[in-house]
Structure 1
Amino acid sequence: MKKVIIAFDGANFSEGAFDFARKMNELSPILLTGIFLPQINYSALWSYSSAAIGSGVVIPMLEEGDIATIEQHIERFKGLCQMHGIEHRVHQDFMDFALPELKQETRFADLLILASESFYEYLGVSEPNVFLKDAIHNSECPVLVVPELYNFPEKNILTYDGSESSVYAIKQFAYLFPEFKENKTVLLYAGPGDEIALPEEQNIEELCSRHFTDLTLFKLDVDPKKHFAVWSSEREGSIIVCGSFGRSSISMLFKKSFVSDVIRDHKLPVFIASR
């Protein structure tokens, strides 16, 4: 049984994120922990910590209306979990809960689920990099970003750039979602220039073919910075797997269009794992 955290912001209950967790539970029972973050400026919350309390950092107080909304969402979460037979927990101390506490929770979890749209709305930005980059780097378990409207995965897109991070993400995905092993799976590589061969092609093929029974290796021949989001948007029913932002010239190919554009367009679930 996997332990999964699902984090909601104070003003939104993500049906898409919960639906993904529900379907996970149907495939294999999970323990689902609901965390309800206050409706405040998420972009600054990673900097809050117990050490910062003594340095004058003040976390905004919640209004009564916000508290009532969060309590309604908590009851909805409990009711849906009971309806669908999901073992669940709820953190009741949401008034003092900020993202450093969420980071601590992820240390003891297998997966963190976030909704893409709701966190955008209160960030007030069109690019997810600032929040998601912080979330990914601070989370101590893989992160799954889920749009509100999507098709549950019947296909896997494993992005690979030859880096340690991309291989780690593929392995974590395989370990966490063995139920997806029979999905049509594309190992997608986008190398610089005219480079055709995949780095360590034999090794990565041996690894992936052990976990995914219907595997295809594919070299993306277009500029991924410009066209990856379009390419992926045409593959409904897919889940995209990637590692954390890397520093190499190869991994940077995925940095903008992959993480920013795909998540911004709210079309496909994205699984991100960093170590």
Structure 2
Amino acid sequence: MIKILLAFDGAHFSEGAFGFARKLNESSPILLTGVFLPQIDYAALWSYSAAVGAGMVMPLAEEEDAAAVEKNIERFTSLCQLANIEYRVHKDFTDFALPGLKKETRFADLLILGSESFYENIGVNEPNSYLKEAIHNAECPVLVVPEQFEFPEKNILAYDGSDSSAYAIKQFAYLFPEFTDNKTVLIYARANDEISFPEEQNIEELCSRHFPDLTFFKLGIDPKKYFALWSSEKKGSILVSGAYGRSSFSMMFKRSFVSDVIRDHKLPVFIANR
């Protein structure tokens, strides 16, 4: 049994994120902890915009909308009981929301976030700054789930030869053994067709041990421009990706194909920070 955090901000409940957790519990029992974060003072956001871009946290509302939070907690509790999921509820965040969530992830195997609902009012950019920071600061792997999705029957393992991409593949296999029998493609996307898979023998030895139905695929395109379009056509898949370096994560994430895939709300995305 693994411990999964499912994080909601005060005003929003992600049906997609909960639905994914429910499907996981059907395969193997989980402990699902609902983390109900405070709402943000949207009126004060303009003065915090620069700080958020630099990795700071958002200002919390002076008076949390307790009724909205309690309603979400009641819904979470009811759905867990209906699905026979062992659950816990955490909501006592007296500090800024993001540090509280980071501490929670230290004691969890996986964090699930709704890509469309997590602090959706922050801004027009998708993924929004708060979602990016939550992914960056998590001390466990993160699963970002759209509201509408097909439960994965295929795996897309994004590989670029880096230690972070290999680490993400291993974490995915360890956490989701029920997915390892899925049809799996290990994809290396580069515009230069002459470049072969980095460390091809080593990555083959690793992946073929975990994923018996494995295919290598070289996508001869610029992933930052076209990968999201390519992946959007792979219905019923989950994308597995490394974090591309913690030190400059926000800038790298902004320019990466992972950001585009999350923005399009087509596929669940598994991200593992190292």
TM-score higher than 0.5: yes
Q: Distance in 2 between matches of 1:70 and 1:160?
A: 39
Once the two structures are overlaid, the 10-residue window that deviates more, 39-48 or 225-234, is 39-48
Residues 204-232 of structure 1, C-alpha deviation per residue, up to 9 Å, x if partnerless? 01100100110000001122121101100
* 1:209–1:215 contact (8 Å) kept in structure 2: yes
Look up the SS of the partner of 2:205 in the other structure: helix
Residue in 2 that maps onto 1:75: 74
Residue in 1 that maps onto 2:35: 35
Once the two structures are overlaid, the 10-residue window that deviates more, 116-125 or 139-148, is 116-125
Q: Distance in 1 between matches of 2:260 and 2:75?
A: 31
Once the two structures are overlaid, the 10-residue window that deviates more, 101-110 or 189-198, is 189-198
* 2:158–2:187 contact (8 Å) kept in structure 1: yes
* 1:190–1:253 contact (8 Å) kept in structure 2: no
Q: Report the CA distance between 1:255 and its aligned residue.
A: 6.4
Residue in 1 that maps onto 2:181: 182
Residue in 2 that maps onto 1:86: 85
Matches within 5 A, 1:1-275: 1-40=1-40, 44=52, 47=56, 59-63=60-64, 66-94=65-93, 98-119=97-118, 121-128=120-127, 130-191=129-190, 193-246=192-245, 256-275=255-274
Look up the SS of the partner of 1:101 in the other structure: helix
Once the two structures are overlaid, the 10-residue window that deviates more, 84-93 or 131-140, is 131-140
* 2:190–2:222 contact (8 Å) kept in structure 1: no
Task: Give the structure-2-normalised TM-score.
Answer: 0.88
Q: Which runs of 5+ in 1 are unaligned?
A: 49-56
Q: Report the CA distance between 1:198 and its aligned residue.
A: 0.4
Q: Report the CA distance between 1:183 and its aligned residue.
A: 0.4
- Aligned residue type for 2:187: L
* 2:167–2:242 contact (8 Å) kept in structure 1: yes
Q: In percent, how many aligned pairs have the same letter? A: 72
Look up the SS of the partner of 1:123 in the other structure: coil
Look up the SS of the partner of 1:88 in the other structure: strand
Once the two structures are overlaid, the 10-residue window that deviates more, 209-218 or 187-196, is 187-196
Structure 1 residues 228 and 153 mapped into 2: Cα distance closer, same or farther (>3 Å)?
same
- Aligned residue type for 2:228: A
Q: Which runs of 5+ in 2 are unaligned?
A: none
Q: Distance in 2 between matches of 1:261 and 1:59?
A: 28
Q: Distance in 1 between matches of 2:238 and 2:32?
A: 21
Residues 138-197 of structure 1, C-alpha deviation per residue, up to 9 Å, x if partnerless? 100000000000000000000000000000000000000000011000000013523331
- Aligned residue type for 1:190: A
Q: Distance in 2 between matches of 1:222 and 1:191?
A: 5
Q: Report the CA distance between 1:124 and its aligned residue.
A: 1.1
- Aligned residue type for 2:61: P
Q: Distance in 2 between matches of 1:108 and 1:95?
A: 19
Look up the SS of the partner of 2:121 in the other structure: helix
Q: Report the CA distance between 1:39 and its aligned residue.
A: 2.1
* 2:102–2:138 contact (8 Å) kept in structure 1: yes
- Aligned residue type for 1:62: E
Residue in 2 that maps onto 1:52: none
Q: Distance in 1 between matches of 2:220 and 2:143?
A: 27
Q: Report the CA distance between 1:273 and its aligned residue.
A: 0.3
Q: Report the CA distance between 1:246 and its aligned residue.
A: 3.8
Residues 111-150 of structure 1, C-alpha deviation per residue, up to 9 Å, x if partnerless? 0000000126222122326334422221000000000000
Q: Report the CA distance between 1:59 and its aligned residue.
A: 3.8
* 2:187–2:219 contact (8 Å) kept in structure 1: yes
Task: Give the structure-1-normalised TM-score.
Answer: 0.88
